[in-house]
Structure 1
Amino acid sequence: MTAILVAAGAFLMTLVGGFVAQRTGDRRHLVLGFAAGLMLGVVAFDLLPEALSQAPQEVHGVPQALLMFTAGFLTIHCVERAVAIHRAHENEYASHTHALGHAHAHAGRDTPGVGLTAAGALVGHSLMDGFAIGAAFQAGGTVGTVVAIAVVAHDFADGFNTYTVTRLYGNNRRRALSLLAADALAPVTGAAITLLFTIPERILGLYLGFFAGFLLYLATSDILPEAHSPHPSRSTLLCTLVGVGFMWLVIGLAG
């Protein structure tokens, strides 16, 4: 039941991210930088150690958990390539000079389907976020807490990106809000699914490894580039370092 309550927090944070996307100011890069730091911290300090402890068996000299870590990273990379999420990011990089709003509107005017597909992929990985919360609480309270913090922080950026990418490609506000609502409900659904069964320890270790690779990709390929593209500043980097340090502190206290 704790997992469901935490997933409800992810639900609210996703909506907050979408709300901020509608009223974005000049400080969103700091929030995204901090969220990326949280994600990096939870991967390095908790998910990978826990995955290795629960799935230490080796395949051709490499722990299974690390193979799943690599598989998670490559899976989301292939998915994003397939749905052209990064096409949106590349358009942003090219247009962050003058007349930002005009450039974005022009970039997406003729391709609303791309925005819907990209947002749909984001909803899919939010479902995985909820599943990760439930799986992590099955692994233990400490793992569940740190994964929950990272996922809830990440879901702010997720809601922000879902609304932004939908609108970027020319979809109307109502459609963007509908996808934002689906993205917010996805982690609650994922967490609820894990209440129906208990995951064996070895399988849980493999999943945590997979999710670690998934989170690392999102942090390094989506969140950090988006944070730095409009504002390549020291303050964004500092927020990322603070996010990593915060996760170190949380894990140390919880241990």
Structure 2
Amino acid sequence: MAVFVALGAFLMTLVGGWTAQRVTDRRHLVLGLAGGLMLGVVGLDLLPEALDAAGQDVFGVPAALLLFVAGFLFAHLGERLLAVRQAAHGASDERVPEVGLTAASAMVIHSLMDGVAIGAAFQVGGGMGLAVAIAVITHDFADGFNTYTLTSLYGNARRKAVAMLFADALAPVVGAASTLLFTLPEQLLGSYLGFFGGVLLYLAAAEILPEAHHDHPARSTLLFTIAGVGFIWLVVGIAG
């Protein structure tokens, strides 16, 4: 049942990626929406789930928040290291394709864990499984949208962006199937969500949104960002 439901996430991810490809003449709006979706996923979905699941405090601070900060710093450090390598090759004014591939790979891992979450929820019960599946399938539109956008934003060829999109679409199915073999500890899932939330927040705040407003500091771009956050809020509210 879990694998069958995860096929819905597969299709929704492809729809999100297809949408991102069709709006190249409104790139700033695409990026503004992507930034809003990422911000909404982090603040309204990933971080609350991480705080609930990770549980214990570490020296007075919830473990999920520590990993959230660690994820943010990890993304920042990774980008700085790639930028230094880029500058050493005399290409400091160009985007580094590896950054986009790394970011998209993180999205694939996240989608894999989405599938694991679906399978684990069905291990608890059918009602819980369907509730989690609805949330995952709905926000996988944003995952597909962001995976294609992140890959292409950094100068990767379209074929690579499409390949990452298909990998992201397949990941929930693989993740759901894997739960037939093991049970994922709740604290481990919460820790992962916290760390990945920090990575996504860095990408949204330091890369996607500044790029969206660089050439088009328009009010419409800001409205699309707010709409992205609002959409995730609606999804979380319906799923809850």
Residues 1:24 and 2:34 are matched in the alignment:
no
Check 1:7–1:70 CA distance in 2 against 1; reply closer, same or farther (3 A cut): farther
| C-alpha contact (below 8 Å) 1:122/1:183 kept by paired residues | no
The 2-side partners of 1:186 and 1:214 are apart by 19
| C-alpha contact (below 8 Å) 1:84/1:118 kept by paired residues | no
Post-superposition offset of 1:226: 1.6
Check 1:191–1:84 CA distance in 2 against 1; reply closer, same or farther (3 A cut): farther
- 2:90 maps to what in 1? none
Once the two structures are superposed, residues 191-226 of structure 1 have per-residue CA deviations (whole angstroms, 9 ceiling, x without a partner) of 244221331111111111112112212211222112
The 2-side partners of 1:218 and 1:147 are apart by 21
The 2-side partners of 1:77 and 1:10 are apart by 26
Check 1:202–1:79 CA distance in 2 against 1; reply closer, same or farther (3 A cut): same
- 2:125 maps to what in 1? none
SS at match of 1:84: helix
- Aligned match for 2:219, one of 211, 215, 234: 234
Residues 1:156 and 2:148 are matched in the alignment:
no
- Whichever residue aligns with residue 196 of structure 1, its letter is S
Check 1:164–1:249 CA distance in 2 against 1; reply closer, same or farther (3 A cut): closer
- 1:50 maps to what in 2? 49
Residues 1:196 and 2:178 are matched in the alignment:
yes
Check 1:75–1:148 CA distance in 2 against 1; reply closer, same or farther (3 A cut): farther
Once the two structures are superposed, residues 93-146 of structure 1 have per-residue CA deviations (whole angstroms, 9 ceiling, x without a partner) of xxxxxxxxxxxxxx65xx9xx43x334324422322322322443455545544
The 2-side partners of 1:193 and 1:165 are apart by 27
- Aligned match for 1:215, one of 197, 200, 224: 200
- Whichever residue aligns with residue 63 of structure 2, its letter is Q
Aligned length: 219
| C-alpha contact (below 8 Å) 1:15/1:184 kept by paired residues | no
| C-alpha contact (below 8 Å) 2:116/2:178 kept by paired residues | no
Residues 1:178 and 2:167 are matched in the alignment:
no
| C-alpha contact (below 8 Å) 1:130/1:186 kept by paired residues | no
SS at match of 1:203: helix
Name stretches of at least 5 consecutive residues in structure 2 with no aligned partner. Answer: 88-92, 122-127
Pairwise mapping of residues 126-137 of structure 1 onto structure 2 (< 5 A)?
A: 126-137=107-118
Pairwise mapping of residues 86-97 of structure 1 onto structure 2 (< 5 A)?
A: none
| C-alpha contact (below 8 Å) 1:72/1:212 kept by paired residues | yes
Task: Give the % identical residues.
Answer: 43
Name stretches of at least 5 consecutive residues in structure 1 with no aligned partner. Answer: 89-106, 168-175
Pairwise mapping of residues 11-160 of structure 1 onto structure 2 (< 5 A)?
A: 11-17=14-20, 19-20=21-22, 24-25=24-25, 27-84=26-83, 114-115=96-97, 117-137=98-118, 138=120, 141-160=130-149
Once the two structures are superposed, residues 16-56 of structure 1 have per-residue CA deviations (whole angstroms, 9 ceiling, x without a partner) of 43x34xx721x222222122222212222222111111112
Regions of 4+ moved over 3 Å: 138-151
Residues 1:249 and 2:234 are matched in the alignment:
yes
State the TM-score, normalizing by the size of structure 2.
0.77
- 1:3 maps to what in 2? 6
